[in-house]
Amino acid sequence: MAGLSLELIGLQLFAGLALGSVYVLLAIGLSLIFGMLTVVNFAHGAFFMLGAYVGLWLLSIGVNFWICLVAVPLIVGGFGLAVERTLIRPLYGRGIDYPLLLTFGLSYIIVELVRIVFGKSGYPVATPDALQGAVDIGVGYFPLYRLFVMGVTALILVGLWLFLERTRYGLIIRAGARDAQIVRVLGVNISRVWLMVFGLGCGIAGLGGLLAAPLQGVIPEMGGPILAEAFVVTVVGGMGSLMGAVLAGLLVGVVVSMTSLFAPEMAKVAIFALMAVVLLIRPQGFFGRAGLMS
Amino acid sequence: MSVDAEVILRTESVSKVFGGFTALRDISVDFRRGAITSIIGPNGAGKSTYFNLLSGAFAPTSGRVFFEGRDVTGLPQHRFAHMGVAKSFQITNVFPQLTTHENIRVAAQALQTCFDMWRPRAARRDLIDAADALLHLVGLADRRDRLAGTLAHGEQRALEIGMALASRPRLLLLDEPTAGMSPEETRSMMDLIVKLASERTVILVEHKMKLVMGISNRLLVLHHGELLAEGTPDDIRHNEDVKRVYLGKREH
Amino acid sequence: MTDLADNSAKRLAPSGFLEFARRHRTLLAALFLLVFPLLVPFKALAVNILIYGLYALGFNLLFGYLGLLSFGHSALFGAGAYICGILMVHVGMPWWAGVLLGCVAGAAMAAIIGTFAIRTSGIYFAMVTLALSQCIYYVFYQATGLTGGENGLRGVNVEMISIFGLRLNFVDPLTRYYVVAAFVIVALWILSRILASPFGAVIESVRENEARARASGYDVRRVRLVTFILSGAFCGLAGALQAIHLSIVPIELMHYETSGLVVMMALLGGMGTFFGPFVGAAVFLLLENLVSLWTVHWQLFVGAVFVVCVLFFPRGIWGSILHAMEKK
């Protein structure tokens, strides 16, 4: 342990928060969709992967990275809207497993289509020029791009919070998550709200994919493992809780990066151990409501 | 604590808090063996919460529950049936895709065997016969092979009581057994309850006070999560507090 | 879950042939499996259908009958395959011991995953099983010394087997088929008995109404765990048979796509029916065999089966056939 300085641990902590930011972007989408629609989107990983590939494609035809930041979530979110409208909507009221099975199958289709269009092998993605290099964050030099990822995530969270707390639409969403019936009685078109929420969640997942692309490259299968990890985040944080998704996402990121510092081969397994412990102690997660369990 | 043979169920200052909301406050009651005790009160009085504490659906936030002198606070729900406590739900709760007969047979099986996975079900002739006897008792013999989900509402409620009886309970807990029933169905359900009470203790929750006045030995009145009154139907009928709550603003 | 599984369970006493077929389902299945290889273009494909059919039956015990949707069954299937392979390759056990202990390994893996996953139910269960199976995947992937890691565990070879003095050439495809079929038929018989037993009734009642089952005196959590372990035993056996069939245990067996595959097979064939998952496995593998002749993108086909079945065909193939016969 002689080589481990406080600085190194500090840097690794930041790296964990950056990784956690990506988890947060996936988990808030999952949680938002679940909270409103009681649908677990098993295609969420595929939407994440799609975001990375759409970004790759846009960059390759010369679109500016900053424009991608807006365009990718819009495109992926738009695709999410289409999926909700055509495939998921017919399933409401038919049992909780149906949308789950459907989105799981959909993820196969999305992955295979990406393989057909972009090929089976992955690509590296260059960090945008303006975000290359490292900055001194007090404990040492830290890659600028990772700071940027954390910043964008923070921005999204603040924006989402303002949207939910301060707008009429947000009010409807929060009410609808509690009781869809009441919202319907008030004359609000709840199916439109569900549509928008599904699109929003998918769009944020797509943005996550775009942001993760320069960190890990892109490959058609990238959505699978991260879906499992996002599930860990959701279970730890508590299903349907945005606060839970944020805190657990960051925690899981830190756990991964800290474990890889001490025992790299255990990094992937550690977060599942974390989930197992949470399940034993508090099965509904940090912020989950117990009633959701059954 | 001393075992009082006359008392089958006792709650000692039980309270239940949901989130920040106190649904039930400090209720101590002794339920007498062999009696029909009805728990009544207006909507939101905490009747269902109290019922769920008695039947073990959840544990009280504070206080204790004793069944036949034994502390049963916080015991898992499935243990209650084994002790001799059975319940019917407020919302009809059967196994919809099983036949009426199989519904009761499965319920009767619970106290005999769970993990017997080798012999055929038909080998337990005793359970099949017990289920048939109960079908007769609750008047569903001619519905034997129908899927429970296809029965009429009143029939499903009767089936549920049959299922509750399958565990040969000493204490039968009924949560609004006549909810949603026609007047005719209500009358025959009341007759059935009186018949059942001749052999076991019955506690029922009821919204409609008139319905239970005639058949109950004891009554509890809950109001805003507190015990407002307790006594014989006559006591309750003349209780000023109860009059005020039930007759409400008319007196002002 | 109730309506997904609605074509199962007890119905109004069906008449004549259907009732006869139901009572003697294991016997009829055994007879069918005896002639089955004559109907299939390649014997290796027939063996594959047997193995995945068994895997799907084991899965369906949990999904169709108990109503719990697991996305982690690859860990059970893979555990059976790996333990069988490891015991044969590294310990030098005979093939039959490997297969039986593979079956035990599937059950043990189910007990481990189940201990955590059973604490949740409903929608959580699918997520937790998927996550835990991913964890198991990493563990086996990284234990290269035992499992061969990315390259798979090689050398799970069975050539000659002798049963009661009878020496059989396991390399011969037809012999291999009948050896595997013997295991599958015994498994079918056991499964059929379990479902017809008092415990089978408990499984169905927990699916139908958890709260009522609990109030009746059943420990729902234990019923779920025991059923999960039973499911693991069947899937572990299937995995072990796959190991000796392939002579190698590829890491892909542990991948979550192997979990998705079995869900899809059950869905395609009809969950909650006894033979549906087997039919689903057979139809899918036959189609895959055709599809893969003209495209490598057969995963598109897997996804399409999911979407089409969920949206338009929730009874599945076998479920629809039974439904049509019962209506007559």
Distance from CA of A203 to the nearest CA of C (A): 21
Is A188 domain-assigned? yes
**Cβ–Cβ of C9/B97 closer than 8 Å?**
yes
Higher pLDDT, C242 or A3: C242
**Residues C295/A74, Cβ–Cβ less than 8 Å:** no
Q: Does the interface predicted TM-score (ipTM) exceed 0.85?
A: yes
Residue C312: predicted pLDDT: 93
Is A172 domain-assigned? yes
Q: Is A278 on the interface with C (CB under 8 A)?
A: no
Residue A285: predicted pLDDT: 83
The number of distinct structural domains making up chain A is: 1
Q: Half-sphere exposure of A210 toward its Cβ, with a 13 Å CA cutoff? A: 30
Q: Is A179 on the interface with C (CB under 8 A)?
A: no
**Cβ–Cβ of B145/C13 closer than 8 Å?**
yes
Q: What share of chain C is helix, strand, coil (3-state, %, to 5)?
A: 75, 5, 20
Both tokens assigned to C164: 């009661």
Both tokens assigned to B156: 């499903």
Is A140 domain-assigned? yes
Q: Which residues of A touch C117 (CB under 8 A)?
A: 279
**Residues B82/C218, Cβ–Cβ less than 8 Å:** no
Residue A240: predicted pLDDT: 79
pLDDT over 90 percentage in chain B: 67
User: What is the distance, to the nearest Å, from the Cα of residue A107 to the centroid of all Cα atoms in its chain?
Assistant: 15
pLDDT band of residue B4 (cuts 50, 70, 90) is low
**Cβ–Cβ of C4/A98 closer than 8 Å?**
yes
B193-204 tens-digit pLDDT:
999 999 999 999
Domains, chain B: 7-251 (3.40.50.300)
pLDDT band of residue C13 (cuts 50, 70, 90) is very low
The DSSP code sequence of C31-100 is HHHHHHHHHSS-HHHHHHHHHHHHHHHHHHIIIIII----S-HHHHHHHHHHHHHHHHHTS---HHHHHH
Which runs of E-coded beta strand occur in chain A? 134-136, 141-143
**Residues C253/C77, Cβ–Cβ less than 8 Å:** yes
pLDDT over 70 percentage in chain A: 97
C77-102 tens-digit pLDDT:
999 999 999 999 999 999 999 999 99
Distance from CA of C72 to the nearest CA of A (A): 11
Containing H/E element for B40?
Answer: strand B36-40
The domain spans of chain C are 26-255
pLDDT band of residue A185 (cuts 50, 70, 90) is confident
The Cα A32–Cα A80 span in angstroms is: 14
Average pLDDT over residues A156-176: 88
Q: How far is CA B45 from CA A35, B127, B176, C112, in A?
A: 30, 40, 14, 45
Average pLDDT over residues C23-41: 87
Q: Is C103 on the interface with A (CB under 8 A)?
A: no
Q: Is A153 on the interface with C (CB under 8 A)?
A: no
Residue A290: predicted pLDDT: 55
Q: Half-sphere exposure of A179 toward its Cβ, with a 13 Å CA cutoff? A: 5
Average pLDDT over residues B87-103: 91
Distance from CA of C308 to the nearest CA of A (A): 9
Q: Which residues of B touch C202 (CB under 8 A)?
A: 106, 109-110, 114
**Cβ–Cβ of C307/A276 closer than 8 Å?**
no
Residue B3: predicted pLDDT: 55
Residue of C nearest to A43 (CA): C303
Residue A162: predicted pLDDT: 93
Q: Is B184 on the interface with C (CB under 8 A)?
A: no
Residue A38: predicted pLDDT: 84
Does the pLDDT value for residue B74 go beyond 80?
A: yes
pLDDT band of residue C74 (cuts 50, 70, 90) is very high
Q: Which domain holds residue A48?
A: 12-220
